[in-house]
């Protein structure tokens, strides 16, 4: 999660610094055997820890509130996002009729004379002569 800029964070940082100073004073008081200083520092440290915990709870509450606002703002676009992510369903495949309705029956190949069994193949018929050519050859 990216770092949030919340007004409570600098306050918490200040409390952390104050707590660290108290730990240093407590260590010195214990090392020097200063019972009064140790008790005073322990009391001050408890107060700082309590304030720090309250500030941490406040920050946690602010983060939850921000997360909820973001969730609600994104809820409006979630269905659109979902539709973009999914591929459209493929249409049902219907077989094409054969022959297509507008073409009717397909033409059948031309049939030639049936070859006789064991006999020679039939002779091809001569090609018809166009009429213009026939007039020129007869004149």
Listed ranges 6-20, 31-45, 87-101; the one with the highest mean pLDDT: 31-45
Instruction: For residue 136, tell me if it sits in a domain.
Output: no
Among 51-60, 98-107, 123-132, the least confident range: 98-107
Instruction: For residue 1, tell me if it sits in a domain.
Output: no
Mean pLDDT value of segment 15-42 = 91
Q: Determine the angle formed by the axes of helices 35-75 and 8-32, rounding to 10 degrees.
A: 160
With b meaning 16 or more CB within 10 Å and e meaning fewer, what string describes 37-72? ebeebeebbeebeebbeebeeebeeeeeeeeeeeee
Q: How confident is the model at residue 15 (pLDDT cuts 50, 70, 90)?
A: confident
Q: What is the DSSP letter of 101?
A: T
Domain total of the chain: 1
d(CA 13, CA 51): 12
Quote the domain boundaries for residue 40.
8-84
d(CA 84, CA 41): 61
pLDDT digits (tens, 9 = 90+) for 71-118: 888 877 766 555 566 677 788 888 876 666 666 666 677 776 666 666
**What integer pLDDT is reported at residue 101 of this predicted model?**
66
> Is the peptide bond between 126 and the residue preceding it cis, with omega within 30 degrees of 0?
no
**What integer pLDDT is reported at residue 1 of this predicted model?**
45
Instruction: For residue 32, tell me if it sits in a domain.
Output: yes
Instruction: For residue 102, tell me if it sits in a domain.
Output: no
d(CA 1, CA 125): 92
**What integer pLDDT is reported at residue 91 of this predicted model?**
84
Q: Using a cut of 0.75, tell me whether the model's pTM lies above it.
A: no
**What integer pLDDT is reported at residue 13 of this predicted model?**
85
Of 42, 17, 16, 18, give the one whose Cα is nearest residue 29: 42
């Amino acid at each position: 999660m990216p770092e949030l800029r919340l007004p409570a964070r600098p306050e918490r940082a200040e409390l952390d610094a104050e707590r660290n100073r108290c730990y240093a004073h407590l260590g010195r008081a214990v090392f020097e055997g200063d019972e009064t200083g140790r008790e005073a520092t322990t009391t001050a440290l408890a107060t700082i820890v309590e304030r720090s915990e309250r500030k941490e709870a406040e920050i946690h509450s602010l983060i939850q509130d921000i997360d909820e606002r973001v969730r609600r703002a994104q809820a409006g676009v979630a269905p659109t996002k979902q539709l973009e992510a999914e591929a459209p369903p493929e249409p049902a495949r219907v077989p094409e009729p054969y022959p297509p309705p507008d073409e009717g029956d397909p033409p059948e190949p031309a049939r030639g004379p049936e070859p006789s069994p064991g006999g020679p193949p039939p002779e091809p018929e001569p090609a018809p002569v166009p009429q213009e050519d026939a007039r020129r050859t007869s004149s």
